[in-house]
Amino acid sequence: MTGDQPVERPPFSDELEAWLSGDGPKTLGALLDVFEERSVAVAVLVLMIVPALPLPTGGVTHVFEVIAALLALQLVLGRRTVWLPTRWRERVLGEATTGRAIPFIVRRVRWFERFSRPRGSRLLARRPVRRLLGLVLLAFAVTAGLAPPFSGLDTLPALGAAVVALGIILEDVVVIAVGGAIGVSGALLILTVGAALVRWLRGLF
């Protein structure tokens, strides 16, 4: 009774690489359409890996962080369909993303896939848990966006969001926990540096 058996998906790294090498448009909307129910996590992974890497982006990282925050908010609200303004859906991801960031993601995802396996997949399928994870992604995206420009402090919260998103895709709570630890450490670093900067400014006056 093979008709009742679930269709086994290829590894996520292969799916992402196939999308990247395909003939379709390399826009955010196309990415969302291809990965369907995993689209929010995939989009957050792709968007947040850009500020997590030392790449010349021309200031686009803050735009990516805003889009990632909006996507995460929809996960918090439990939306079944993803909404983005047409201008953002049709935005071409650019060479920094398709030429460098996504190939980097594919290599790192393959490394994770060697050790990862579905752990806690039933728990992750529950709506309250998905909303909580959306809140985590939202917090990391906002924290990365609030980091002082050109400071490099957005790296850890952005990387944390990317790894949490990957854990959602791989249905592995261990990967999610690793991403959470990275993101929280980045947020604490930003708070520490911010507090020190405030004290320094007060000392000047």
Give domain status of residue 144, yes or no: yes
Provide the pLDDT for residue 157: 92
Find the domain containing 122 and state its range. Answer: 9-204
Tens of pLDDT, residues 63-116: 888 999 999 999 998 877 788 888 888 888 877 778 778 888 888 899 999 888
Give domain status of residue 108, yes or no: yes
Residue 119 β-bridge partners: 172
User: What is the tally of structural domains in the chain?
Assistant: 1
Inform me whether the pLDDT recorded for 1 exceeds 50.
no
CA distance 181 to 188: 11
Token pair listed for 30: 């196309």
Scan for tokens 């630890």, then name that residue. 181
Give domain status of residue 197, yes or no: yes
CA distance 138 to 5: 35
Q: CB of 48 within 8 A of CB of 144?
A: yes
In the chain, which ranges are continuous DSSP H helix?
A: 12-21, 28-35, 39-52, 61-76, 86-89, 95, 102-115, 121-124, 127-146, 155-170, 173-204
Give domain status of residue 2, yes or no: no
Give domain status of residue 4, yes or no: no
